[in-house]
Amino acid sequence: MSERDEMIAPADEVELSGVVATLGDDAEAISVAPNWKLVWWRFRRHKLALIGGVVIIFVAIVAMFPGFFSTQDPNETVATDSFIPVQKLRFWHNGRFQIHVFDVEGKRNPETLRMEWFIDETTIIPLQLFSHGYAYQQFGQFETDRHLLGVTDPESEASFHLLGTDRLGRDQWSRLMYGTQVSLSIGLVAVLISTVLGILLGGISGYFGGWIDMVIQRMIEILQSLPPIPIWLALTAAMPRTWSVEQTYFAITIILSLIAWTTLGREVRGRFLALREEDFVVAAKLSGCSQMRIIFRHMVPTFYSHIIAATTLAIPVMIINETFLSFLGLGLRPPAISWGVLLQEAQNLQSIALAPWLLLPGLAVIITVLALNILGDGLRDAADPYSH
């Protein structure tokens, strides 16, 4: 180290020496850093991908604690409260800090006999953080009634709807929170299943080659040349209507991953094929490593960052596909709540014209999918050792 320091003491370039010195250290550190650290260093430089990651962490927290973030029981229907518009969250009232929303007032239109809602800017509903509300179970274990946001006085009859209500007077905000849990976890579970299938079948195909490879390749080719959407539609339509919410949930994840694994399978196979010829794999073979050890200790670590990136990019596709299916009424069905189920309420022009806020859950889909795509791209670039 001292030699190096001597070497890089430019007499006439003092202002540069700082930069050069740190780079010198970096060069040293880079050569001994494990792969995941290198990936992280490269990833850190993608500012946009970092933002995407933060957004996803937020969405994931919501998905873990939907009860805490919701303001009302998502399945509670109040027939008289249908199509209440969005009540915007406000923070200042009469010059002092007070979280609140304006109350709404309903008048029945004498011609259409439909309830029409008006924001009443004179009365406010005061809100507070960490208030008590309806009771819910967290992780199916702990019962609590704490919520992030609620009316200050839980005894009052007042209710508020941050994203308005739907046809049946259900609170859309709370439904969105629960929908986040379902949609995100379906995406995750379906991707996990297809990742396992992809690595397993792709790995077998690429590592062993020969006729096994032939069979798996033809299988992938056939699966990939089938049009996915009609198949998904048909399969979900073939699910018995008597199935419980849990059963349909798992059936859908399996149906979605049946086709999705092929992409990852191809990629893994390609990597295995290339790696098989690499010197370090040959060396491992010659020194008597078992096949399992070669695969999992020597080969898989070289591309696991690619798998993570590919997986991240597959989640948004799954989320969109689940949304498609539920939107068309063939995926999850009420009382289950997912983003697609929520958007089903906005399926025709009459509903949207009457209550445009029914489209808002779509924004949640777009933001989440966007964040996942950007995050996945950042990860993929960072995982590529040859990228700059």
Partner 1 sequence: MNNLTKPLLTVRNLKTYFKLDEGMVKAVDGVDFDVFPGQVVGIVGESGCGKSVTIKSALRIVEKPGEIVDGEILYHPQKNADANDGPVDLVTLKAHGKKMRDIRGNEIALIPQEPMAAFSPVHTIGNQLIEAVRLHQKVNKKQAFDIAVQALHEVGMPNPERRMGAYSWELSGGLRQRAMIAMALTCNPSLLIADEPTTAIDVTTQAQVLNLLRSLQERHNMSIIFITHDLGVIAQVADFVVVMYLGRVMETGTVDDIFHNPQHPYTKALLESIPTVHSPSKELLPTIEGSIPHPFNRPAGCPFYPRCADFMAGVCDKRTPSLQKINDKQSVSCFLHHDKAEEDEAA
Partner 2 sequence: MLLYVIKRLLLLPLLVIIFSMFAFFIIQAPPGDFVTSYIAELAASGSSIDQAQIDGLRSLYGLDQPIYVQYLKWMGRIITGDLGVSLDWQRPIAELIGERLLLTVLLGIFTFLFTWALAIPIGILSATKQYSFIDYFFTVVNYFGVSTPTFMTALVLMWLAFSKFGISITGLFSAEYVDAPWTYDRVVDMLKHMWLPMVILGLDGTARLARVMRANLLDELKKPYMEMARAKGMSEWRLVMKYPVRLALNPLVSTIGWYLPLIFSGSVIVATVLNLPTIGPMLLRSLTNQDMFLAGSIILIYGFLAIIGTLISDILLVWLDPRIRMEES
Site residues (vs partner 2, CB under 8 A): 218, 221-222, 224-231, 233-234, 237-238, 316, 320, 323-324, 327-330, 343, 346-347, 349, 352-353, 356, 359, 362, 365-366, 369-370, 373-374
Which CB, 4 or 37, lies closer to partner 1?
4
Provide φ and ψ at 187, rounded to 5°.
-55, -45
Provide φ and ψ at 70, rounded to 5°.
-85, 165
Q: Is residue 23 within the footprint of partner 1 (CB under 8 A)?
A: yes
Among 1, 2, 8, 213, binds partner 1 (CB under 8 A): 8
Q: Is residue 48 within the footprint of partner 1 (CB under 8 A)?
A: no
Are the C-beta atoms of residues 373 and 316 closer than 8 Å to each other?
A: yes
Q: For residue 301, give the H/E element and its range.
A: helix 300-327
Indicate the length of the chain as a whole number: 388
Number of H helices, E strands in the chain: 15, 4
CA angle at residue 324 from 322 to 325, to 5 degrees? 65
Neighbours of 178 (CB within 10 A): 24
Q: Which does 23 bind (CB under 5 to 8 A by kind): partner 1, partner 2, none?
A: partner 1
Which CB, 47 or 107, lies closer to partner 1?
47
Among 9, 196, 234, 238, binds partner 1 (CB under 8 A): 9
Q: Is residue 29 within the footprint of partner 1 (CB under 8 A)?
A: no
Q: In the bound complex, what is the minimum distance in angstroms from residue 94's beta carbon to partner 1?
A: 52
Are the C-beta atoms of residues 133 and 145 closer than 8 Å to each other?
A: yes
Q: Which two structure tokens, joined as six digits, stand for 293?
A: 């050890």
By CB under 8 A, which span of 1-9, 34-42, 146-154, 296-304 interacts with partner 1?
1-9
Q: In the bound complex, what is the minimum distance in angstroms from residue 3's beta carbon to partner 1?
A: 8
Among 1, 2, 4, 91, binds partner 1 (CB under 8 A): 4
Query: How many Å apart are CA 281 and CA 206, to the nearest integer?
Result: 14
Which CB, 41 or 208, lies closer to partner 1?
41
Q: Which two structure tokens, joined as six digits, stand for 171?
A: 């609170």
Q: Could you give the C-alpha distances from 372 to 84, 118, 369, in angstroms and in order?
A: 32, 38, 5
Which CB, 27 or 234, lies closer to partner 2?
234
Q: In the bound complex, what is the minimum distance in angstroms from residue 47's beta carbon to partner 1?
A: 14
Q: Is residue 11 within the footprint of partner 1 (CB under 8 A)?
A: yes
Are the C-beta atoms of residues 49 and 374 closer than 8 Å to each other?
A: yes
Q: Which residues in this chain contact partner 1 in the complex, by CB under 8 A?
A: 4, 7-13, 16, 19-20, 23-24, 27
